[in-house]
Amino acid sequence: MKFFIDTANLDEIQKAHALGVLDGVTTNPSLIAKEGIRHREAFRAHIKKICEMVQAPVSAEAVSTTAEDLIAEARELAAIDDHVVVKIPMTEEGLKAVKVCADEGIKTNVTLVFSPLQALLAAKAGATYVSPFVGRLDDIAASGMQIVSQIVDIFSNYLFDTEIIVASIRHPMHVLEAARMGADIATIPYAVIAQLVRHPLTDVGLEKFLKDWEKVEKI
Ligand code: E4P
């Protein structure tokens, strides 16, 4: 299973990268705004920096609303770096843009997916990745992980190459369930990655080992 980090924060990306388990990065307009990026040139430079840091897929979101504009934006974003994956919203115009991008060899990540049928459409249009948002479904008392399970089934029935990125992850259980279901990727906020590392029994056990080691003569 691949781990992406869901952030545009360079320190968090660097810290996750240093762990040796990072396979990519996803950003979105909200995460970009959170970093204080206020114009398109700064956005492009920031995405380039992330690509150079991780040398792995980096999702950058297109924000146009028509297929024509999404395609133009996708071409611009893809020209930033070979690692850029263009995030395209799950709309009719978005699907048309995904198809053209696929034909041109531009990688896409269809975002804001909330149903298995949306994921099926995205895969049929030629999306490289689809991103079901599990946390936002849980927030409205639906089951995010149930949608992921259905997408895993559908994609395996028809042998789609499209990879599933479990997105909008809120806690370690989302990651555990995604792994058990066989989702290809989880895109995880840094705070949740840190939670995955820690276990209280590891902390207690390490403290005891270090304390006992002090009793051993150092000669
Ligand atoms: C995915 O690519 C999105 O950036 C992200 O996972 C959305 O998460 P949120 O629901 O916590 O904003």
- pLDDT at res. 182: 97
The pLDDT assigned to 218 comes to 80
- Contact predicate 102/71, CB 8 Å: no
Separation of 110 CA from ligand 1 center, angstroms? 12
Three-state secondary structure of 69-94: HHHHHHHHHHCCCCCEEEEEECCHHH
Does ligand 1 have an atom closer than 6 angstroms to the CB of 177? no
Q: Of ligand 1's atoms, which has the minimum distance to the CA of residue 87? A: 2
Nearest one of 57, 64, 111 to 85, comparing CA atoms: 57
Nearest atom within ligand 1 for CA of residue 167: 6
pLDDT at 63: 97
Which atom of ligand 1 has the smallest separation from the CA of 139?
A: 10
pLDDT in tens, 25-54: 999 999 999 999 999 999 999 999 999 999
CA-angle at 116, arms to 25 and 151, nearest 5°:
65
Residue 135: CB within 6 Å of ligand 1? yes
Domain edges within the chain: 2-217
Q: What is the pTM of this model?
A: 0.96
Residue 118, pLDDT above cutoff 90: yes
Which CATH number applies to 2-217?
3.20.20.70
pLDDT band at 10 (very low <50, low <70, confident <90, very high): very high
pLDDT at 219 over 80: no
C-alpha of residue 212 to centroid of ligand 1, in Å: 44
ipTM: 0.97
- Centre of ligand 1 from the C-alpha of residue 78, in Å: 21
User: Average model confidence (pLDDT) for the chain?
Assistant: 98
Measuring from atom 11 of ligand 1, which residue has the nearest CA?
168
pLDDT for the residue numbered 16: 98
Q: What is the pLDDT of residue 61?
A: 98
Give me the pLDDT at residue 181, please: 98
